[in-house]
Structure 1
Amino acid sequence: MDTKKFLFASLDAALIGDIAWQVHREGHDVKYYVEAESDREIADGFVPKTDDWRAEVEWADVVVFDDIWVGTDVGTGELAQDLREEGHAVIGGTPDTDRLEDDRGYAMEVLDEHGVKTLPHREFTDFDAGIAHVQEHPAPYVVKPLGEVQNVKRLVYVGREDDGSDVVDVLRAYKKAWGHRMKGFQLQRRVEGVEVAVCGFFDGEGFVDPINFNFEHKKLFPGNIGPSTGEMGTAMFWAGRNRLFERTLGRLEGWLADQGYVGSIDLNCIVNARGVYPLEFTPRFGYPTITLQEESFESPTGEFLYRLAHGEETDLRVHGGYQVGVRVCLPPFPFSDPQTFDENSRNAAIVFEGDCEGVHIEDTKNVDGQWRVAGESGVALVVTGMGETMTAARERAYDRIEDVIVPNMYYRDDIGERWVEGEGDRLQAWGYLGP
């Protein structure tokens, strides 16, 4: 493909820097805009930047939005829709697809309307009403915040007690600590099974083959212990339109085409022998999911994004085995504490004992050839590995981490273990992963 012009826009936190870097390394012209002042230096030295993304729209062959958020408001879907109507090629959502993530009740309605079975759920704007509901209908529940604070992942609580008593205690605590910021919450019945996300790239008319199946690891510590984070790592593989896809995202293909959606969309589910139960949408790139997906692309990333945005036929070739990505973090992640970040992580040097193959940037900058920690979150790198088995992919990723030196770095050492210890066997036995 000839050289194309790509404009990447982060209108809230800087998330898409690694993909912009990859497209830039492939020889395309890239400009990257970061709105958040605290994140402005992320990807410096890796990709060219711009201070005004709107001024670059006419220059760009493709505009790529990395999230649904414009600051504290939902809004990139509307921007993307308007730009498409003006004739621009855009990877991004629509107002309705943005709602899939922002409004959990709406997301469940869309699934119900298209024949996707959902778990019992109910939204509340009053904590006392939610507490009364649990007491009147004792059961294990999952608490999911609504509104701005839903991005504070540690506020998601998965109940453990069969009578819901622990959920009552948590709601009482949230009322005191977060009542002024949490506009509401959803209570969803908890179900046991394998948690797996079905992810596809949509070109405005249909899903691009193959389909991605990934397994998120959200807790901070190995063994799924500790506070929830955005994510500590991902294991994945690619496959065809199997039973799991056809019972979830496959049923929304027509709806997404009517929306004119372009980009990645992910539906996280709980699966067991009785059925598939959707949990939540990610109608945008997932992080670090897109980083690991890009590592497994055998097609050029820039060409794929260009063809996706223009609705052209796309021959996406991917690694045929398994992939593992591990986030390398520093204090205070997953919490926000500027003083701790300044004392322990800001400008920390990232040193490689070997090469940096399979290492992807997150909150990182390049200063005169030296990689350094940037931003303020403490999420520095994603280190990846691929193999013909999940075990081989894990070994490759963790071998690479051994060659990374960053003061105070930490990471989970069990990404992909759940698959090896039986999740893969269960999904196969239940018949979800066949042709």
Structure 2
Amino acid sequence: MKKAKSNARKILLVSKYGETLDIANAMLKEGNIVKMFIEEKSCREIGSGFCLKVSDWKKHIDWADLIIFDYTGYGEACEELRKSGKLVVGGSRYTDRLELDRNFGHEQLKKHKIKVLPSHEFYNFHDAIEFIEKNPDAYVIKPSGETQELKQLLFVGNDDEGADVKRILMAYEKSWGNKFGNFQIQKKVKGVEISIAAFFNGTEFLHPVNITFEHKKLFPKELGVSTGEMGTSMFWTKDSPIFDATLKKFESTLAKSNFIGHLDINCIVNGNGIFPLEFTSRFGFPQIMIQRAGILEPMGDFFFKLAQGQKFKINVKKGFQVGVFIVVPPFPYEDKKTFELFSKDAVVIVKKEMKEGLHPMHLKKVEDEWLITGDTGIALLITGTGLTMRDAQKNMYNRVQNVIVNNSYYRTDIGDRWHEDSDKLWSWGLL
């Protein structure tokens, strides 16, 4: 681990699953002192050898100059810490609820006079199936609460009568029974899926804002199961009609909620308008790492200024940033036996030194070797940047070829949709 500067900031990173190891590693390399706590027991080996690990983050509150929370569910703790005078980047009770309670999120969108797609909440599969039979249409199944963490359960129907959604609900009923929890059935619309994200300093959103295109399916050309994320393309912009129509309207409400952090809203847009789908009121993964590839200032400084409530322009690269996950079995599923057989402690080999674009994910360091750990099989994120999307893609995939991870797989088409999506967005007046 790199020796800290004499004026180094002491940063405590509180992580749910260890997804922000790359951010911890970056801030450490900048000369800060970083301590990392990981809540999920199966993930606690992540980051060992990279940075200092702690078993109880609350015992290090007084030590820290800055505390960063990387996930939802810590909103109440964030608010209490801010009241006590600590500098905190993280959520609030209000923003936690925006993400975790889909119905509340939709109610808030309506309250802020933002158009939303029709959706209905259900607590059992029978009622949902009966609803579709009475109201045939194309729908999306969206789990709520803790179940929404299992991204492969989200299902986007293609049948105009809803027959495919009915079949999936019947399958879920057999396999999950009453353990599934509540879920939404949302009307499906066609268009471009796009996310608008921005950092909030407690009073207002900072500019530029971030425009993101996620690639959620396991295989190229959007085939296979939903994984949550296989890769992302993005760019930064000073002005965005989609931002003005969505996140901007929440500025005063967020200020009242004592929120300082990152907020993202996923939308479907088409010639008929902008239709918000859901909030992510925390860092996105791999969004935050790809954002780091585009931010031209030390991340420790950036988060410190944000937590202080400073108003500043984010210094970013021009053009585009892209990122792709390199994963190993059993991703996107959890299977302990498969993970231990094929992936646990497998070595990540970098053929030539990379000063940029290499982002450790579920890894530990043993005698300077990077070994895969955790339980889900996300080894690395590789990023690329460029003035055009094609340049950024080429930069990223050249870097992918510099890495050897046994039994690994990744999407080969991250960013390919931009050519078609950008034409549509321009024609609709949304870029």
Do the structures match in fold with TM over 0.5? yes
**Deviation of residue 283 (structure 1)?**
0.2
Q: 2-side partners of 1:305 and 1:292: how far apart? A: 16
What residue identity is the alignment partner of 2:320? Y
Aligned with 2:181 (options 183, 203, 225): 183
Matched, 1:313 2:317: no
Deviations along 1:142-183, one digit per CA (max 9) or x if unpaired, are: 000122111100100001000111111111111111223211
Secondary structure of 1:261's partner? coil
What residue identity is the alignment partner of 1:407? N
- Equivalenced residue count is 425
Secondary structure of 1:299's partner? coil
Choose 312-321 or 332-341, whichever is displaced more.
312-321
The within-5 A match list for 1:204-223 is 204-223=202-221
**Deviation of residue 425 (structure 1)?**
1.4
Q: 2-side partners of 1:234 and 1:227: how far apart? A: 17
Deviations along 1:14-45, one digit per CA (max 9) or x if unpaired, are: 11111011011101111111122221111112
Contact 2:124 2:178 in 1 (8 A): no
Aligned with 1:260 (options 254, 258, 261): 258
Contact 2:91 2:260 in 1 (8 A): yes
Secondary structure of 2:178's partner? coil
RMSD: 1.1
Q: 2-side partners of 1:57 and 1:76: how far apart? A: 14
What residue identity is the alignment partner of 2:21? G
What residue identity is the alignment partner of 1:161? D
Provide the residue aligned with 1:203 in structure 2.
201
Choose 314-323 or 204-213, whichever is displaced more.
314-323
Q: 2-side partners of 1:213 and 1:299: how far apart? A: 19
Matched, 1:8 2:13: yes
Provide the residue aligned with 2:403 in structure 1.
404
The within-5 A match list for 1:7-406 is 7-10=12-15, 12-68=16-72, 75-356=73-354, 357-406=356-405
- In the alignment, structure 1 segments of 5+ residues that lack a partner are 69-74
What residue identity is the alignment partner of 1:375? G
Q: 2-side partners of 1:116 and 1:140: how far apart? A: 22
- In the alignment, structure 2 segments of 5+ residues that lack a partner are none
Choose 32-41 or 143-152, whichever is displaced more.
32-41
Deviations along 1:214-242, one digit per CA (max 9) or x if unpaired, are: 00001100010111112000000000132
Q: 1-side partners of 2:146 and 2:320: how far apart? A: 34
Deviations along 1:328-380, one digit per CA (max 9) or x if unpaired, are: 00000000111110110000001111123311011011111111111111001
Contact 2:93 2:257 in 1 (8 A): no
| Percentage of pairs with the same residue | 44
What residue identity is the alignment partner of 1:9? V
Q: 1-side partners of 2:68 and 2:232: how far apart? A: 23
Contact 1:7 1:30 in 2 (8 A): yes
Contact 2:121 2:182 in 1 (8 A): yes
Q: 2-side partners of 1:46 and 1:295: how far apart? A: 19
Choose 301-310 or 174-183, whichever is displaced more.
174-183
What residue identity is the alignment partner of 2:247? L
What residue identity is the alignment partner of 2:165? V
Q: 2-side partners of 1:258 and 1:237: how far apart? A: 29
TM-score, structure 2 normalization: 0.97
Contact 1:304 1:314 in 2 (8 A): no
Dislocated runs of 4+, deviation >2 Å: none
